Structure 1
């Protein structure tokens, strides 16, 4: 990873030279664009954008932890700056993903796809795998953005350098989603083992094109199912294409990126930087602990994952903190909470999940199995839903090993859990929704999105004083406050089409 960091630095220097050097012997050749580097190794950009998408502490702290993790009741916090489980507004926190995505990796991914496009004159056709992977990863990045905000710049986004469009229109999510699915279909078909392989420059799959193809179709399955309530025919079409194309088949296919403990920045896990474990304490932000909702659900099911996830400093049994309280009001729930020392009786997350060198997980095989079970229940796929449920639960309990081998749940514990928590087709939506929620802990983007789509698990909202939603869980985050001034045409069109820029405004696929 440090080698990649050095390569990234070298790339930046190369770009600076390319942008600023002047050849006095060729000043007359005005047809040569001086803004374009003549040769850029696409592998540098690929590695950099993968790290960028994993994210810095900035957006992982704000968008992931402070907002989504507590809204979805995986975590809870008493500090009032953790506004997510109090449904309060903080413009810079709400805007964090937008700010990082559009300023950083969206334009880089658009550029990477452009300079490796084999259909464009002057491009090297042997770079087609870089092109295909860039398109797949761009889909992943854009789905995350539109799932947070709704209508967003998409078709013309990231093209400021290419065509000087610095204020792109906001596109309807209803048009974005079908294009995301179509992009995956095209990109999966472009992957070619006979062409240049990115190898170690691909920090996710190490150039394994078969795994990239599986990820493309697994992501298509996720995208198709997200449209299940608003465009069922289109959803069924792409769910069918995804399963036929070949989705993940084991935990070996999990999409994640490895990190290292330094240097600071995108080489480190952004969530790990939020907690900043020093071997004894969380030294940067020790406010987020496991939610009572999450812990109680696991206790009720005698879930063996809880033993791996929970870390109680005082050595007691797992105990979750309720959402929606602050340092004063918590005494109304817990009269013993008269000092900060009481927090040591509550479950923090096991540090092994949130180290600075921990991997960042983007999609898992367990999620795929739960989505296939849902497709079967909807008569969109053939097979036995119970078998896919069992496979999904098993995979979810085994997937902790990507963080550390010591976190593996024993086979006997999984067998006992499945016997005590069998699949029931009459309640498939609740059962699959709850298991998906459990399996996406720390992947809060997906946990929050799938909860809004399915309504499961059933969460009890809070009604903190001064909240922005009249005591309902937010359905989206708000656009950056500066957008109304910087891109008024795009912003106003989106608001007129989608609804007021509020936390309670539902996006296209989010219907009751």
Structure 2
């Protein structure tokens, strides 16, 4: 036994003494030890655009129905009837923190470590704001300053930052990042799916996002809203539909580059256009582009009727005598619901409507409210052609619409808000946020039996319930600061 032990100790000593250099010998010199940041940016942008999971649940099931763009009798479409489905309500949180948040924080750390150009870092910082803005607007106080730092810094239970602090930092990030950009092509190049590395377009996007965030603060910090709106406009915002921030998706295997909304529509035949939406679009050339009758795909305007929100099949039968919803208009599957459809984050039309509001409130952007309003309506109709030639609206039809439904100065804010609502169809994150900020359009709530909100339209979605277990101290602090984790609690800028 002693001899055996002696031999084992001798072998251990030999292997230990020969260990120097083994780490290098085990590294394959033909393979990178770090994934290129460009590949990470592409993946992060695709994840940010939205996969079927959260696009279906957070964007469509909840927000599109609460905002009365879409209606359905299906009971699992929780937003249509103000039910609380904890998994659906937390779906954006669940996917964003494990995907885009982790991705963008990793990219920024890598860019700084590799000492990449300032313009690359600036674009990544703007992308970071886009990700967190969607999260904080939907949930309120969220992990921000410590988010995505689990692998990088070992922060596994991040604190929740106040939304007021998050907004202050996001505005700073946009201002500083825009200052780093010029007119050349970024080193990101084609890896950037939004602007292909065009620095000038990213600069306009940063300032346009700044304008969005500025106006979001109008109810809680009117002075700050004006200050930041002034900076944004002076810095240079979007000036045409060629500046729109969007990703053009392509068909292919699931999870590669499909439009998340499109995947949801492929899987779900229940959604119909809301009666509120269709009625507003009466006389609007966008209606036969956005909708088609479910039964026969007709786009004849006289055949397009909207489904009231807040009904189930029994209530529909009692109200109309109809057994199903096939006679109602659905989102036009020939044009706008494809898995290869573009996904829009911010459009020039939205910017023109914000300029119109800024002109109305503070005399900014030349002070001509009507001019910016008309430019917004025109852009909102023109940009639909990005879906394809079948979505093209002629100049004559646009002018006829503006002539028949002219701008009325006395109703400026309502008209701007109503048109913003139409222009953000299918980007329901922005629709929901802008409605909470402005109160337009004037939506009539539903009061379905057993709803969660006493017949009022929800004001936010709820945190993932796992936070109560894995991050209880910070979760409790967020509840204490913001209010109960329920659908009716208002976020900071919605007071």
Q: TM-score of the superposition, structure 2-length normalised? A: 0.91
Indicate the SS of the match to 1:345. coil
| Per-residue CA distance 1:176-205 (angstroms, 9 max, x = gap) | 111111101111112256785211111111
Match of 2:242 in 1: 252
Residue 323 (structure 1) aligned with residue 288 (structure 2): no
Please tell me whether residue 298 in structure 1 is matched to residue 269 in structure 2.
no
**1:18 corresponding residue in structure 2:** none
Question: Contact 1:205 / 1:212 at 8 angstroms: preserved in 2?
Answer: yes
Match for 2:79 among 77, 80, 84?
84
Tell me the number of residue pairs that the alignment of Structure 1 and Structure 2 aligns: 465
Residue of structure 2 equivalent to 1:344: 326
Distance 1:428 1:328 in 2: 40
- The answer as to whether partners of 2:360 and 2:367 remain within 8 angstroms in 1 is no
| Contact 2:349-2:375 within 8 A present in 1 as well | yes
Distance across 1 between alignment mates of 2:111 and 2:223: 34
Alignment match, 2:337: 354
Residues 46 and 130 in structure 1, CA contact (< 8 A), matched pair in contact too: no
Find the counterpart in structure 1 of residue 10 from structure 2: none
Partner of 1:34: none
Equivalent position of 1:454 in the other structure: 438
CA distance in 1, matches of 2:98, 2:480: 25
Give 1 or 2 for the bigger CA radius of gyration.
Answer: 2
* Alignment pair present for 1:435 and 2:419: yes
Tell me the equivalent position of 2:268: 285
Alignment of 1:477-492 (within 5 A): 477-492=461-476
Give the C-alpha shift of residue 405 in structure 1: 1.7
CA shift at 1:137, angstroms? Answer: 0.8
Aligned to 1:72: 67
Structure 1 residues 163, 264: closer, same or farther in 2, change over 3 A?
same
**Higher deviation after alignment, 490-499 or 373-382:** 373-382
Distance in 1 between residues matched to 2:468 and 2:340, nearest whole Å: 38
For the pair 1:44 / 2:39, whether they are aligned, the reply is yes
Residues in 2 aligned to 1:249 and 1:173: alpha-carbon distance in whole angstroms: 30
SS in structure 1 of the partner of residue 292 of structure 2: strand
Partner of 1:424: 408
Aligned to 2:102: 107
Q: Distance in 2 between matches of 1:157 and 1:380?
A: 39
Question: How many Å apart are 1:333 and its aligned residue?
Answer: 2.3
Pairing 1:381-420 to 2, within 5 Å after superposition: 381=364, 382-420=366-404
Deviations 1:78-118 (A, max 9, x none): 0000010100011110010000000111011011112113x
Does the 8 Å CA contact 1:240/1:380 hold for their aligned counterparts? no
Q: CA deviation at 1:334?
A: 1.4
Q: Secondary structure at the match of 2:76?
A: coil
Provide the rounded CA distance (Å) in 1 between the counterparts of 2:21 and 2:231: 52
CA pair 370-483 structure 1, distance change in 2 beyond 3 A? same
Structure-to-structure mapping, 1:225-240, within 5 angstroms: 225-240=215-230
Question: What is the TM-score with the length of structure 1 in the denominator?
Answer: 0.88
Instruction: Tell me the SS of whatever aligns to 2:215.
Output: helix
SS in 2 for 1:378: helix
Aligned twin of 2:494: 510
Q: Which sections of structure 2, spanning at least 5 residues, go unmatched? A: 1-17, 25-31
Q: What does residue 13 of structure 2 align with?
A: none
Alignment-derived partner of residue 458 in structure 2: 474
Residue pair 1:54, 1:266 contacting (<8 A) in 2 also: no
Give the whole-Å Cα distance in 2 for the aligned partners of 1:459 and 1:322.
12
In 2: Cα distance, 1:406 partner to 1:252 partner: 19
Secondary structure at the residue paired with 2:493? coil
- 3-state SS of paired residue (1:361): strand
In structure 2, what is the Cα distance between the partners aligned to 1:446 and 1:160? 29
Pair 27,508 (structure 1): closer, same or farther in 2 beyond 3 Å: farther
Hey, what's the Cα distance between the residues in 2 that align with 1:24 and 1:233? 66
Three-state SS of the structure 2 residue aligned to 1:446 is: helix
Aligned CA distance change for structure 1 residues 195 and 399 (closer, same or farther; 3 Å): closer
User: Relative to 1, partners in 2 of residues 1:131 and 1:24: Cα closer, same or farther, differing over 3 Å?
Assistant: farther
Counterpart for residue 372 of structure 1: 355
Separation in structure 2 between the aligned mates of residue 499 and residue 189 of structure 1, nearest angstrom: 37
Q: Is the 8 A contact 2:184 2:200 kept in 1?
A: no
For residues 353-374 of structure 1, give each alpha carbon's deviation from its aligned partner in whole angstroms, at most 9, with x where no partner exists: 0101111011000000000010
Cα deviation, 1:432-454, whole Å, max 9, x if unaligned, reads 00000000000000000000000
1:38 is displaced (CA, Å) by 4.7
In 1, distance between residues paired with 2:409 and 2:132?
33
Mapped partners of 2:460, 2:20: distance in 1: 56
Contact 1:289 1:349 in 2 (8 A): yes
How far apart are the structure 2 equivalents of 1:182 and 1:265?
34
5+ residue gaps in structure 1?
1-22, 30-36, 277-283
How far off its partner does 1:244 sit? Answer: 0.6
State the distance in 1 between where 2:360 and 2:318 align. Answer: 43
Name which of structure 1's ranges 387-396 and 345-354 shifts more when overlaid on structure 2: 345-354
Change (3 A) 1:194 1:205: closer
